[in-house]
Structure 1
Amino acid sequence: MGQIKKKDIRALTREQLRDFFVSNGDKAFRGNQVYEWLWQKSAHSFEGMTNLSRETREMLQKNFVINHIKVDQMQRSADGTIKNAVRLHDDLIVESVLIPTQTRTTACVSSQVGCSLDCKFCATARLKRMRNLNPDEIYDQVVAIDNESRLYFDRPLSNIVFMGMGEPLMNYNNVLKAIDKITSPDGLGMSPKRITVSTSGVPKMIRKMADDGVKFKLAVSLHSAIEQTRTSIMPFNATFTLVDLRESLQYWYQKTKSRITYEYVVWEGINDTQKDIDALIRFCRFAPAKINIIEYNPIDDGEFQQASNTAIEKYQRSLEANNITVTVRRSRGKDIDAACGQLANKS
């Protein structure tokens, strides 16, 4: 007979853990103790659960496994950015990034191994989507970066962005479960207002988020408000059109009253004209929005080139003249391929 496959213990709720102990002739509160070890204390093994008897730890070892991530390689950029190559229990790798500034440290976390979408300018999109990350694997990335923030910058993690590998809304249930743990007093106790989920724009799931009453912030990788242009750089836009996206974002704002952030890269010869600027201004009018113009980070083949400073300044002036908040963000961690669009498991 083959060995019994052990269950991933972090897939169990607190109530299921309590029930497990009761059904094995123990007290229900043992489930609370184990739950605290798993989530608040991020235990990597049952052996480390020191307030449990040896018999209890052996029983857990016999029935369960803790599929904890391992930081396989850590790289530090000249600007202080840290990139982690994270090994999962099945030996697949994802990357996550710690971005420090004077006032905050932000974790950029992954939600999929590879990506479900096909943005031409993104290195991650060239990787086949192999699987979704489980809630605990997302949570572990945050814990690892929080530990690094405390170690290297002497302060806890302050913000989280789902802008790493993968499309978070294509792994919706697991992302929400991870955020629930991150924001719960039983987990990391972070405010949902410090979390931003960045999507390339999946209208059906944006509506679902609004209906689910989520409290975190929403960012959309827009890059063009002209249908044909956006489809040429983000081919999935042929399915999830700008019209559908706009309607879903209107719905989001009506339900949440939460301002939308648009992530926007300006490329030479692609979206650097006045026509592109005017289309973006029109797209921003249906709901309060702010624009983050992001510096482009090349991914080797030269198809996409960063637009000139003149073109970016023109965007900035035009948006501000129309009372649209705009920030130009310089990339961090370029020297270790840790910047936006560069995560591709080169390590």
Structure 2
Amino acid sequence: MKEKKKDIRALTKQQLQDFFVSVGDKSFRGSQVYEWLWNKAAHSFDDMTNISIETREMLKENFVINHIRVDRMQRSSDGTIKNAVKLHDSLTVESVLIPTKTRTTACVSSQVGCSLDCKFCATAKLKRMRNLNPDEIYDQVVAIDNESRLYFDRPLSNIVFMGMGEPLMNYNNVMKAIEMITSPEGLGMSTKRITVSTSGVPKMIKKLADDNAKIKLAVSLHSAIDEVRTQIMPFNETFPLEDLRDALVYWHEKTKSRLTYEYIVWKGINDTFEDAKALLKFCKYVPCKVNLIEYNPIDDGKFKQASGEATQMYQNVLEQNGITVTVRRSRGKDIDAACGQLANKSA
């Protein structure tokens, strides 16, 4: 049986150099190919024009470039762009470009489906089919950067791991993708412009701290009362708030960075004064800011956006006690591109 071709982007630069030496070529040829694969984001070996045709044919015989393809692009009335991204094995994920006057932000996926079971999220209704590879995450960013330059005449400025999947449940691949996104040999973006948004996996938050990751951290909290949070996010039973708190304290002690809590207020679920006071208490553990996020319905009707008064009450309780609060209006709702809405409806 013919041996399956290797994904060439799974090789390090050193491994590529070693490969070329092993076939009687010079090691610098590996560096050239590496530059084409990452810095120039080549889709095929034929793009590698400073390499001989014979060498390109040899690469084709041994390797594949498992490149993503934007299968469908939708543009919202507010300028938001959503990509349905077809992977090499025909599975689909979604990524989003959110433009504002001062920045363009990529919201990228890290898993096909999701490992967790948040009741308010459309992605959670899909079973986790597999983790994305580092190059598949990287390719989403390249595609969105190209769209940002094409439609908004400026490069991508920020990246948020807040698309499909729980990034910390695909830790190694996400961190490798970030390494390439920030490397001068890749896209050369600053780690300060990258946010990893997690539902709260304590062990992996501690690992982020131990690995000295320079990225920003956001936590989808949605309640600071265990019983309420478990109703919203059942995995909270396994990773309760006490464990999450300890992990975040550990993370802050190591990084000295302020974190962000993402928080949706729902009618009849977490819209009382007691809920707001519990959040305030949780905010006191580490320096933080709170994003109060508008809810985007996913059709089942159980979760409804709380009243404006409830959101204002939260804002007052937090701000009166020195916590920075931002009320985030949703973008891309008309194309199901807003937070919690990514679910491959186009697939």
- Relative to the length of structure 2, the TM-score reads 0.99
Distance in 2 between the 1:132 and 1:113 partners? Answer: 6
User: 2:335 corresponds to which residue?
Assistant: 336
User: 2:283 corresponds to which residue?
Assistant: 284
User: 1:224 corresponds to which residue?
Assistant: 223
4+ runs of 1 displaced by more than 3 Å? none
What is the deviation of 1:182?
A: 0.2
The superposition leaves residues 101-144 of structure 1 with CA deviations (integer Å, 9 ceiling, x where unpaired) of 00000000000000000000000000010000000000000000
User: 1:47 corresponds to which residue?
Assistant: 46
User: 2:154 corresponds to which residue?
Assistant: 155
The superposition leaves residues 153-192 of structure 1 with CA deviations (integer Å, 9 ceiling, x where unpaired) of 0000000000000000000000000000000000000000
Task: Report matched runs for 1:153-192 at 5 Å.
Answer: 153-192=152-191
The superposition leaves residues 229-253 of structure 1 with CA deviations (integer Å, 9 ceiling, x where unpaired) of 0000100000000000000000000
The one-letter code of the counterpart of 2:35 is E
What is the deviation of 1:260?
A: 1.0
User: 1:114 corresponds to which residue?
Assistant: 113
User: 1:270 corresponds to which residue?
Assistant: 269
User: RMSD between aligned alpha carbons?
Assistant: 0.4
The one-letter code of the counterpart of 1:180 is E
Task: Report matched runs for 1:26-175 at 5 Å.
Answer: 26-175=25-174
Q: Between the two proteins, what is the percent identity of the paired residues? A: 79
User: 2:257 corresponds to which residue?
Assistant: 258
User: 2:245 corresponds to which residue?
Assistant: 246
The superposition leaves residues 290-332 of structure 1 with CA deviations (integer Å, 9 ceiling, x where unpaired) of 0000000000010000000010011111100000000000000
Distance in 2 between the 1:266 and 1:148 partners? Answer: 33
Residue 277 of structure 1: SS of its match in structure 2?
A: helix
Distance in 2 between the 1:32 and 1:204 partners? Answer: 36
Stretches of structure 2 that go unaligned for 5 or more consecutive residues are none
Residue 181 of structure 1: SS of its match in structure 2?
A: helix
What is the deviation of 1:225?
A: 0.1
User: 2:292 corresponds to which residue?
Assistant: 293
Distance in 1 between the 2:229 and 2:214 partners? Answer: 29
Distance in 2 between the 1:4 and 1:126 partners? Answer: 36
What is the deviation of 1:286?
A: 1.1
Distance in 2 between the 1:210 and 1:73 partners? Answer: 37
- Relative to the length of structure 1, the TM-score reads 0.99
The superposition leaves residues 59-78 of structure 1 with CA deviations (integer Å, 9 ceiling, x where unpaired) of 10000000000000000000
What is the deviation of 1:48?
A: 1.1
Residue 286 of structure 1: SS of its match in structure 2?
A: coil
The size of the alignment, in residue pairs, is 346
The one-letter code of the counterpart of 2:84 is A
User: 1:198 corresponds to which residue?
Assistant: 197
Stretches of structure 1 that go unaligned for 5 or more consecutive residues are none
